[in-house]
Structure 1
Amino acid sequence: MSDIDNSKQLREVIRILERKLGVLGEFKTSCCGVTMAQCHALVEIGRAGDISLKELSEILNLDSSSMSRTVNNLVNNGLVRRDIEPLDRRYVTITLTESGNELFRSIEERMNSYFESVYLALPEDKRKQVLESLDILIGAIDKKNVVN
């Protein structure tokens, strides 16, 4: 099989993976009652403790206006708080509220449980290979994004 055929196969495999993981269900509330974008934002904020809007948009690879809308919805739902830095009013720190922390912990528990079952469903002798391959794939995608 040629590299072009293999690259098309890679695309198809990733499309199927995205569908299986629900990435394309942007308007679904399947992630603990919030959209997938909000779910990813909650996880990153929860893991960071506090984070700037700019840092969050970079991590999630979203433009600042999309990230701002996502955070606004989380603020309106009482899940995150926006704090303006007193010394630099342009710098906004985002943190989880108590409700946001509860939802973050719930998401983490559900996702850890789900991916543990997926991982254990892999053939034992292929588990490390799958993780290494995904790391290589992510690195290749990162390099491609830097070039463009």
Structure 2
Amino acid sequence: MDNKESHYLRELIRVLVRNLGILEESEATCCGTTVSQCHAIVEIGRAKDTSLNELAELLTLDKSTMSRTINKLVDSGLAIREVHPEDRRYVSIKLTDEGIKVFDNIENSMEKYYQSIFSSIPKEKREQVLESLQLIIKAAKQNKCC
């Protein structure tokens, strides 16, 4: 791949991320959370029970940033922290009932949106799109930036 092609790849991904980010910001605002809180809610909701360290690693954030995000979720009544009964160093993070409602709302909204996007792709290209995204994700994991 020459510089022109890699530059084009960068620009396409930048536009994709920007367009999806705008969607996520507007969607998160509807739920009364920030984008980072929205991502945390989704990951906690999917895991049902996780730790701060696991969440920080999954979202590729440092522990202090993740801790501030969780503090805001706890303060707003969307998440709780529980100390593990056998290992006091392990703090479990779970969603409250209100947090689960927000999680379900985010998941349902995102599912509808991505179904709309996917159905806009010609049927004969859908598998190709999914395969290409998987390849990009794998390559990005292997070649960390900065």
Q: Is the Cα contact below 8 Å between 2:83 and 2:89 reproduced in 1? A: yes
- Distance in 1 of aligned mates of 2:106 and 2:27: 15
**Counterpart secondary structure, 1:86:** coil
How high is the sequence identity, in percent, across the aligned residues?
51
Q: Give 2:29's aligned amino acid.
A: S
- Distance in 1 of aligned mates of 2:23 and 2:118: 22
Q: Is the Cα contact below 8 Å between 2:27 and 2:106 reproduced in 1? A: no
- Distance in 1 of aligned mates of 2:104 and 2:27: 20
Q: Is the Cα contact below 8 Å between 2:28 and 2:38 reproduced in 1? A: no
Q: Is the Cα contact below 8 Å between 2:28 and 2:106 reproduced in 1? A: no
- Distance in 2 of aligned mates of 1:136 and 1:41: 25
- Counterpart for residue 111 of structure 2: 112
Q: Is the Cα contact below 8 Å between 2:74 and 2:81 reproduced in 1? A: yes
Runs in 1 of length 4+ with deviation above 4 angstroms?
23-29
Question: Which sections of structure 1, spanning at least 5 residues, go unmatched?
Answer: none
Matched, 1:52 2:47: no
Alpha-carbon RMSD across the aligned residues, in angstroms, is 2.2
TM-score where L is the length of structure 1? 0.91
How is 1:34-53 mapped onto 2 (pairs within 5 angstroms)? 34-53=33-52
Aligned residues: 146
Q: Is the Cα contact below 8 Å between 1:53 and 1:64 reproduced in 2? A: yes
TM-score where L is the length of structure 2? 0.92
Matched, 1:131 2:137: no
- Distance in 2 of aligned mates of 1:23 and 1:38: 15
- Counterpart for residue 66 of structure 2: 67
Matched, 1:22 2:24: no
- Distance in 2 of aligned mates of 1:26 and 1:105: 17
